Structure 1
Amino acid sequence: MAKRALDVYTEWRGGTCRVKWWTGAYHPNGRKRFESKGGFEDEEVAYQHGLDQMHDIRHGVQVSNRDGATLMDDWLDEWLASMDHGHLTERAYQSRVKAHIRPYFGRRTVGEIDVLACRAFHKDLKSKLAPKSAQNVMTLLGMIMDDAVPTLIKTSPVERKRSRGRFTRKPRERKKDMLPEAVEQLARNAKLLFGLPGYAFIWTMAMTGMRPGELYGLTREYCYPNWPASDPKGDRAELERYEEDAERYGREADGQLPAIRVERQVQYADGKVQFFPPKYGSTRTLVIPPFLADLLERVLESHDSKWVFPSMTGVCLIATGFDTNYWRVIANGAEERTGYRMHHPRPAIPAVPAYAGRRLYLLRHGAKTWLDEDGHSRYAVETRMGHDVPGVEGVYSSVTVAMEQMIAKKLQERWETLQDRMGQSGTASVSHSFPMED
């Protein structure tokens, strides 16, 4: 064995040259731990390789043979265990790893996965999945391989999408104006399906822009007229916030603003419905117009469920497969259902053309559009939608009582204008005579 430099050695074995270098670590017995690479035909090339490894070790970018040989299966387990994301995000990542990444790469070492392997994987995904779904999996793989740098690999083999040539605008969903008449028809369809809570559910989403999971999980203590008097206090870190809410929100007759508190959402976890913080931790207070305050009060009087909007069987709406079993019927319409075998007979439900075949989430989009049309401040609008406003605007701005009063006033005017239009067209007025249970 020839010693060419401190801690770098070369030797010829079987007609080829091998180089050994010190990893900077020690064995339990105190001896230096070396790694090696063979197969060189030129001793100078082998020696230079050893020096390169020592350089990388000194600069903290060297990947040991042992680390590079880590199985992707083991690295995926370690990566998933280190996640700290929202419940839905973690569930999506786990699903993509289980369905696509682990079956394809699991038995390979992390060091074996190169650019060509990732391209082949992407091609395989595109043959099985929609383009957006395939890209979501590749984005996740990129995150996983990025986190393997520099411990297990020097650079990530996942290629980043780069724009080349002429700019192409991404296709966007074309949205129609959210007309109050269409919302009213959706609400009446929902009332035919699951009673007064259904009617209130639609109007609450249109007037507040709450996310579906937040509406499904809205419980009595966070709904008008109970909140904020019923706010669970306990050992509160937000005592100052609570005291301000108790002064600012409540019954209109007491000079306060009727409001709903978005404190949580519901999602499935471990096979059961559980509470989680709202998306992006966007807890917030939503003032509501007088007509909606009256409607919600009557809804709570009409049932004894803990859910403000219980299903027709009294359970949380998320447990019903809402999109399939409720929303599609509400938006697309359905034939009359009768007969003694039917647990829940109902009359025919008319389709609402503006929403037939479209997403429930568009009601949230429409709620923001109404706020924009009414000219409210950007900060007040984004805060109401549960978004953070970046930059100096987000630091210096706040939502004042006057802003909230104006939001409630404008939303009430939309409702009253709808009454006038429906009355003039010969349609039964929807004033404060809300549809009651049959």
Structure 2
Amino acid sequence: MEWRGNTCRVKWWSGEYHDDGRKRFESKGGFTDEDEAFQHGQDRLYDIRHGTHVKNRDGATLMTEWLDSWLDGLDHAHLTEVNYRSIVETHIRPYFDKRKAAVGDIDVMAYRAFRKHVQSVLKKTTATKVMTILGMILDDAVPRLIKVSPVERTRRRGKFTRKQKERKRDMLVGDVEQLARNARTLLGEPGYAFIWTMAVTGMRPAELYGLTREYCYPTWPGSDLRADPDEVDRYDEDMQRYGKGEGLMPAIRIERQVQYKDKKLTFMPPKYESYRTLVIPPFLAEMLEQMLAGHDSEWVFPALNGNSLGAMNFSYVWWRPIADGAEERKAKQSRWDRPALPAVPSFAGRRMYLLRHGAKAWLDEDGHPRFAVESRMGHEVPGVEGTYSSVTVAMEGAIMKTMQERWERLQEKLGRTES
């Protein structure tokens, strides 16, 4: 300790050396009591011995500098990283840059002030996302830049409150048919097949947008691009199990999806790297084969200009009139005549992703094994069940059978109604 005027400063060895071999010291001043200063130094030595000490120069790191380091270290799926970067650059960096805040300055009170700020200017869901990302950033600053994270965790106390879930309606096969007919009016036969493929397979929208002929019946698996040399066994097994011909099951292979990267539509691995094979019933196999013979686009479900449906805001441009219905349009009002589209009440105002949810509900209704269902949806099954189970030929055959039966019951019903 040393006195300077009316205050005392304490110095302690940081445990490091300068390049010339001298010990590197740190210090803190402003004490008016020598015993208090001494105890502060002892506490720092304790932290150093136990690996929890934050060096003065590290604690003084500006938040904007730490954000750069944190973003450089991200290793997530493309869209997740894009989302994180957007939140940091739009909401977190401007706030702390304006205040020239160091990471060590962000205590509980500073954390609460930021939370109050974002809650006052953002919607609840967006504010929650921002606070989640900030929590990750501050947690990762421990222990080099801050000793403990100031993030306040929500602890469940008192009366249990159930989270509100999205209310869903049963997906009726007749409603899917009407959605498909509306899509046919707007997009032709690819639109009709698009709806039925999503309802039967449960594929994610970006997987449908990115599906090309190489991975679709009737050419797959013979047309598989075989991009992974470590997958030789899988390729050989696929040739024995799937395809067009006696004893083979028609199927679609999920190897990629499309997302925008650097303003360009780009092939990406499927979400959670959920590579999988989806058997399809005979009616869908025939539908896809006929539809693909009717156009020459590389995309299985092309837009009107032949490009991928992922190149447009499909959920707004096409899905909304498909589900909500639309009035008749004449050529003077648009590029072509369009008859009126009837609304599908069970999907009106709702998101297209519910077709995927409905696909799982159909599988559950038909009593298929949980592992086969979750694998088809692209979900990882945890625990012993995920380790020991596998999707057998019999399981896939049963899925094809029940989906085909749904279609045939629909055709019987439509035949009686339309006749």
**TM-score, length-normalised on structure 1?**
0.93
2:262 corresponds to which residue? 270
Matches within 5 A, 1:2-401: 10-106=1-97, 107-233=100-226, 236-251=229-244, 253-339=245-331, 342-401=334-393
SS at match of 1:410: helix
Distance, in Å, in 1 between the alignment partners of 2:119 and 2:418 is 51
CA displacement 1:18-58 (0-9 Å, x = unmatched): 00011111112221111100011111111111111111111
**What is the CA distance between 1:250 and its match in structure 2?**
0.6
Q: Deviation of residue 233 (structure 1)?
A: 2.3
Structure 1 CA distance, aligned partners of 2:218 and 2:315? 28
List per-residue Cα deviations over 1:278-329 (Å, max 9, x = no partner). Answer: 1110000000000000011111111111110011121111111101101001
Offset at 1:165?
Answer: 1.2
Q: Compute the displacement of 1:234 (Å).
A: 5.2
Structure 1: distance between partners of 2:46 and 2:336: 75
Matched AA of 1:138: M
Report how far residue 342 of structure 1 moved.
3.2
In terms of mean alpha carbon deviation, does 58-67 or 25-34 score higher? Answer: 25-34
Quote how far apart the aligned CAs of 1:348 are: 1.3
- Give the whole-Å Cα distance in 2 for the aligned partners of 1:270 and 1:102: 22
Amino acid aligned to 1:67: D
State the AA in 1 paired with 2:194: F
**C-alpha separation in 2, matches of 1:150 and 1:115:** 16
SS of 2:368's equivalent in the other structure is coil
Indicate the residue corresponding to 2:396 in structure 1.
404
- SS, match of residue 157 in structure 1: coil
Shift in alpha-carbon separation, 1:102–1:331, aligned structure 2, 3 A: same
Deviations 1:183-232 (A, max 9, x none): 00000000000100000000000000000000000000000001100011
What TM-score results when the alignment is normalised by the length of structure 2?
A: 0.98
Whole-Å separation in 1 of the counterparts to 2:228 and 2:362: 38
Aligned match of 1:431: none
User: How far apart are residue 235 of structure 1 and its match?
Assistant: 5.5
Runs of 4+ in 1 over 6 A off after TM superposition: none
Deviation at 1:421, TM superposition (A): 1.5
* Cα deviation 1:256-277 (Å, max 9, x = unaligned): 0000000001011100100110
Task: Identify if the C-alpha distance between structure 1 residues 235 and 212 changes in structure 2 by more than 3 Å, giving closer, same or farther.
Answer: closer
Task: Find the aligned partners of 1:367 and 1:387 in 2 and give their Cα distance.
Answer: 14
Q: 1:415 aligns with which of 398, 407, 410?
A: 407
Between the aligned partners of 1:82 and 1:392, the Cα distance in structure 2 is 33
- Partner of 1:127, secondary structure, is helix
- 2:217 aligned counterpart, secondary structure: coil
Which 5+ residue runs of structure 1 have no aligned equivalent? 1-9, 429-438
- CA 1:398–1:164: 2 relative to 1, 3 Å: same
Map Cα deviations across residues 136-164 of structure 1 (whole Å, 9 max, x no partner): 11111111111000000011111111112
Q: Within 2, Cα distance between the matches of 1:217 and 1:422?
A: 32
Distance (whole Å) between structure 2 residues aligned to residue 11 and residue 345 of structure 1: 89
CA RMSD, 1 decimal: 1.1
What's the CA shift for 1:340?
5.0
SS at match of 2:75: coil
Aligned equivalent of 1:433: none
SS of residue in 2 equivalent to 1:389: coil
Which runs of 5 or more residues in structure 2 are unaligned?
none
Distance 1:123 1:289 in 2: 54
Q: CA deviation at 1:345?
A: 3.1
The range that moved more, 389-398 or 110-119, is 110-119
Alignment-mate amino acid for residue 30 of structure 1: G
